[in-house]
Structures are given as structure tokens and as C-alpha cells.
Amino acid sequence: MTVRLRFLGGVGVIGSTKILLEQDGWRVLLDLGNDIPSSADLLRYPALPRPARGIADRLRLGVAPRIDHLYRVDALEGTDVAGGADGHTVVFLSHAHIDHVGLAGWVDPAVPVYAAAGTVRVLGALEEAGTGLEGGRQAIRPLEDGETVHVGPFDVTCLAVDHDVPGAAGFLVTTADGTLAYTGDLRFHGRHPELSEAFTERVRGVRVLVTEGTMLAASFGAPFLSEADVDAALGAALDATPGLVVVSLYPRNTERAAALLRIADAAGRRVIWPVAMGRFLRAYGLEGVLTWEEGPGLEAIRANPARFVVQLGVDEIPRLLDLPLGPGALFVHSNGEPLGPFDPNWALLADWLAFLGLPMRVIGSAGHATPHDLERLVRLAAPRVVVPVHTNEPYRLAPPPGTARVLAERGREYALDHIDA
Ligand SMILES: [Zn+2]
Ligand SMILES: [Zn+2]
């Protein structure tokens, strides 16, 4: 029987790619995350999913994929989706961002879940910090770069890529009807471009390349900084600011967090983290992480604001009222939460900064490939078919001669060997 393929997420939107391959009752699911939050979500603060009903509530609202024999039976009460394992389904997670792993805590424990070892490490540290997967701990099996898992007629190979979280990977799926490569989220301007270059090399000549296309959108017109540029700009900002620096970076970018600790140290400043973030970073293995729990405390910061950097917790914005934010203080947005103007909490932060008179500088680097790098990836990989996903403007990917481009429809069933028919 032919290999069938469905895109159950990441179609026409940034985030949450989900790709289901099926043949002879065997199924491979690539990624299982939540949609990126938007101001149109029915499940937005304070109407959040109920703790034990997270998957059932999302299925009722149509914001989780309806896949039988994937989720735990006890989590599906009130839905018509069948729970429990069928022994023929395996899940692969590309990296530890919510839009790729957010629903994995609801997977039945008898369904194998795999991810690169680096992703297992990040998820383990989050679990240890009390901020693990919704739905509960999941025993995720670690994969080495290049390791292959056999799933019935499918061979799935884990291929490391560079992204703004450690342990990111794409997958190469080999089938009787040809090969499919999936990038996960990747970039070529980060700290490990060689990983994404090696991915490009290893997927050369695949039948179908499913690539993320986040930065294709016209709205991402801003100039790109490399992570090295970010380090330099952060250092300059810490040196030039006479007062307190408040920063928002995304802690799962542990390499940026480690860099901030080094840069702050060189600038004679100490970094104070929100408690849960600090627990995660320590569990991940970073040293010298201080939180509000162990001090130095407000008095020390007020006495000498130029000796500190405070990381913002988006759930504790009123803490800003305690801080010495007079003239000379600075807020640095460095890809942390709220993530950007598309995030429902961005306007809230802007209101607070306006009230406090706290100027904002943006010093960040995208976790996603530039449009130029995406076109180069497709040209070098030279697939028969390219499918841009994880973007709201997939039409902006121009395929090279010899490659057909398919703009996938959500939920539609494609035959792998006729996807461009
Ligand atoms: Zn993503
Ligand atoms: Zn990501």
C-alpha cells in the first residue's frame, strides 16, 4: 500500500508543525506541540485548559489533532477519540519548544516517544524545576545524531540541526515510496551552523522536503543578528547603562542564558532570575545562577543598581514596581516572553514600560533561517518536492528549477509519491 501523509499542524501558521505518515496500519508522527498563543484563542488567560482535561478540552475546541490510539484513555473522557496504544504508532519530537512538544505529556505511556538526547535533557531539567510537560512526565527515549528507529515499514533517522534551544533535530523518513525529510525548526546563523549545514548535506536528493519557513513572512523585515552579534550588543548595553538592566530572554535558550551570565560577570553585574527559571537553569547544569530565593535581594539591588541584571518573569511583571528603575535603567528584550508583538501579552508589557518610563532595546537573534538561507537549503537539498510549513506566508518560498512546491492543506491526505500531482 502507498504511504499516506497528512499535515495536522503548522499549515498557514507559525508554529506547531505536525506530520503524520501512515502505511499498512503503521504510523509515524513528527512533532506534537501546541499552537502558538494568539489573541483569538478560546483557551487564553484566564480561560486556560483545565489541568486534567487539557487534551479533552483542546479536542473539543479543535486545537489538538484528532488521532486515535495516541493519547491516554483517562485524558479523553467526553471525547469520541479512542485512547490507548495500538502498538503501531511512534512519535518523534524535533525540539523542546512548546509548539513542538506541548501535547506530548498526554501521549499514552505505551506509545514510544523519541527525541534527540539534547531535547530529552532540556525536558528533564524542566521537569526537575517543576515546569515539565502538561499532562505529566513522559519517558522520552533519547536518540543520538544519525541514529535510526525502525517503525514497521518506516526508518526514521534523527539529524541534528541548529536552533535557539539545545538538542534540536530534524528527521529523515525512509519509506517504500521514497524519502521525506523534515527540518523541525532550524537556522544557519546561530552558534552551531555546521549542524544545519550537515543536515542539508544528509537530506540531499530526498523526494519530499518539509521545511519550516517562519522568517518568510514580510513582517520579519528586521536586520538579522547572529548570536555572536547578540553577545557583543548585550555586553555593550550592560557597559553603557548607568543603572539597572532588566532583560527578557527565553531560558530554554540555555546557551544565551550562559552567555548572559558570562557577559554580566565581565560587566561587573550579577543576574537575578525568577525562581522557576533559575531552578530550570541549575537543573540543566548552569553554574552561578541566582534567584530571588537566595538573594542578594532588593536592598542590595536598590543600593547599587548598576551591579545587577534582573530577568523579567512574564507572570511577575508587578515586581518591576519594587526595582530601582529611575533614569539610567534599561529594558532589553532578547527573544524572551512576551515573545513579540504577536504575543497577547506584548501590549501589557508595553503599557507597563510606558507607565514606568523604562526604555526598551531589542537585542535578539532569530531561531529560524533567513529567507535567503531557506532558499539555499532547498537549492542544495534539491528535493523533488518542497513543502513550506510553520509559516503564515508559505507562498514566499520560491523553489529552484527541478523542485515542485506544494502548499499543504491542513488534514488533507496525500500519497507520498503523488504529493505534487
Ligand atoms: Zn516552532
Ligand atoms: Zn522552535
pLDDT in tens, 372-420: 999 999 999 999 999 999 999 999 999 999 999 999 999 999 999 999 9
CA angle 229, 235, 236 (to 5 degrees): 90
At 332, is the secondary structure helix, strand, or coil? strand
Helix (H) or strand (E) holding 263, with range, is helix 254-266
pLDDT value for 344: 86
Rounded to the nearest angstrom, the distance between the alpha carbon of 187 and the centre of ligand 2 is 10
Rounded to the nearest angstrom, the distance between the alpha carbon of 73 and the centre of ligand 1 is 28
Rounded to the nearest angstrom, the distance between the alpha carbon of 8 and the centre of ligand 1 is 14
Rounded to the nearest angstrom, the distance between the alpha carbon of 68 and the centre of ligand 1 is 24
Rounded to the nearest angstrom, the distance between the alpha carbon of 166 and the centre of ligand 1 is 14
Rounded to the nearest angstrom, the distance between the alpha carbon of 184 and the centre of ligand 2 is 8
Residue 64 Cα distances to 11, 78, 103, 294, 414, angstroms: 13, 15, 8, 40, 20
Rounded to the nearest angstrom, the distance between the alpha carbon of 243 and the centre of ligand 1 is 35
pLDDT in tens, 78-103: 999 999 999 999 999 999 999 999 99
Rounded to the nearest angstrom, the distance between the alpha carbon of 10 and the centre of ligand 1 is 8
Percent of the chain with pLDDT over 70: 99
What CATH architecture does domain 227-362 belong to? 3-Layer(aba) Sandwich (3.40)
Ligand nearest to C-alpha 15: 1
Ligand nearest to C-alpha 214: 1
4-218+367-418 matches 227-362 in fold: no
Q: Which amino acid is at 164?
A: D
Half-sphere exposure of residue 215: CA atoms within 13 angstroms, side-chain side: 20
Q: What is the largest CA-CA distance in the chain?
A: 72
Q: Specify the pairing of strand 154-160 against strand 169-175.
A: antiparallel
Rounded to the nearest angstrom, the distance between the alpha carbon of 52 and the centre of ligand 2 is 26
pLDDT value for 221: 64
Ligand nearest to C-alpha 95: 2
Rounded to the nearest angstrom, the distance between the alpha carbon of 313 and the centre of ligand 2 is 20
The Cα 109–Cα 139 span in angstroms is: 8
pLDDT value for 45: 84
Ligand nearest to C-alpha 14: 1
Per the CB < 8 A criterion, the answer to whether 180 and 150 are in contact is no
Rounded to the nearest angstrom, the distance between the alpha carbon of 100 and the centre of ligand 2 is 7
Rounded to the nearest angstrom, the distance between the alpha carbon of 387 and the centre of ligand 2 is 18
Ligand nearest to C-alpha 10: 1
Rounded to the nearest angstrom, the distance between the alpha carbon of 188 and the centre of ligand 2 is 14
At 260, is the secondary structure helix, strand, or coil? helix
Enter the C-alpha cell of residue 156. 526514521
pLDDT in tens, 177-197: 999 999 999 999 999 999 999
The Cα 209–Cα 205 span in angstroms is: 9
Ligand nearest to C-alpha 168: 2
What CATH architecture does domain 4-218+367-418 belong to? 4-Layer Sandwich (3.60)
Enter the C-alpha cell of residue 376. 539555499
Domain map of the chain by residue range? 4-218+367-418, 227-362
Burial class (CB in 10 A: 0-12, 13-18, 19+), 223: exposed
- Other Cβ atoms closer than 10 A to 267: 19
pLDDT in tens, 198-251: 999 999 999 999 999 999 987 776 667 999 999 999 999 999 999 999 999 999
Say what the pTM is.
Answer: 0.96
pLDDT in tens, 275-297: 999 999 999 999 999 999 987 99
